[in-house]
Structure 1
Amino acid sequence: MSDDAPAGDAAATFAARAQDDHDEAIRDLVVFGDAARGDDRGVHASVEVLLVLEEADPERERRLEALAETVGAEHGVVFEVHVLPAERVEANADHPFIRTALEKGKSYV
């Protein structure tokens, strides 16, 4: 990761572009893990994202994953995007992955 493109900026860039193109379909966009805590240390930086869509949409999911790859390449980080429909998140709200991401992550939407 370059010094002029921190993971936080990559997350904000991804969130802004995702909202520009898919705002009506996104219920939550949360960045969690090292990047959200500021622990990336500039080594093998990754940005973990939980993206909750109002409803399942495989084509939209592919477009959002492609956007994450593009933004990651621009900022020198790797995005790990977990796209889930809202009903699945609600049905599994107590799952440690979902609970931790939503409670400890930084919400952009």
Structure 2
Amino acid sequence: MREETRLEQADEGDDGDAATAFAERARSEHGDSIRRLVAFGDATRGDDRGVHSSIEFLVVLEDDDVDDGPTLEEREQRLEGLGKTVGIEHELVVEVYVLPADRFEDENQQDHPLVEEALEEGVSYV
């Protein structure tokens, strides 16, 4: 997996990148509960598919539900909503896949084709 430097570039004014926009907003809203955030798909590879361009995110969240905070399901819904917003802003199809950290760490889950694709060709933001 490629190590990410785009967040550093974003600090210099690069707000046109959908992956960076999603990553910054997700980290702002969910902070330390994000264990991993990986962008993958044709848009991260630089494939220009016009209106059919898409970007996918694998987000691994700590399952640290607290009595007064949002549940894992609520955080997942917020991330999916953020993906839709970023997709509209950047004219991309955005898919967000959320996994609880304990499931992500399961060896069987690491062999899932979607997880493999994200980890092998994706760009890590967290």
* Common fold by TM > 0.5: yes
Number of equivalenced pairs: 102
* Structure 1 residue aligned with 2:97: 82
Q: Quick one: which amino acid aligns to residue 33 of structure 2?
A: A
Measured in 1, the distance between the counterparts of 2:92 and 2:116 equals 25
User: Secondary structure in 1 aligned to 2:110?
Assistant: coil
Partner of 1:41: 49
TM-score with structure 1 setting the length? 0.85
Structure 2: any 5+ residue segments left out of the alignment? 1-15, 64-70
**Residues 40 and 46 in structure 1, CA contact (< 8 A), matched pair in contact too:** no
Kindly indicate whether residue 62 of structure 2 is the aligned counterpart of residue 59 of structure 1. Answer: no
Equivalent of residue 23 in structure 1, options 16, 22, 31 = 31
Q: In the TM superposition, what is the alpha-carbon distance from 1:40 to its structure 2 partner?
A: 3.1
Identity of aligned residues (%): 61
Q: Secondary structure at the match of 1:58?
A: helix
1:14 to 2:22 alignment: yes
Q: Distance in 2 between matches of 1:77 and 1:41?
A: 10
Code of the aligned partner of 2:124: S
CA contact (8 A) 1:53 1:84 kept: yes
Structure 2 length normalisation: TM-score? 0.75
**Higher CA-based Rg:** 2
- Among residues 80, 94, 100, which one is paired with 2:111 in the alignment? 94
Q: Letter of the aligned partner of 2:100 in structure 1?
A: P
After TM superposition, which residue ranges in structure 1, 4 or more long, deviate above 6 angstroms?
none
Counterpart residue number, 2:123? 106
CA–CA distance in 2 between the matches of 1:27 and 1:66? 19
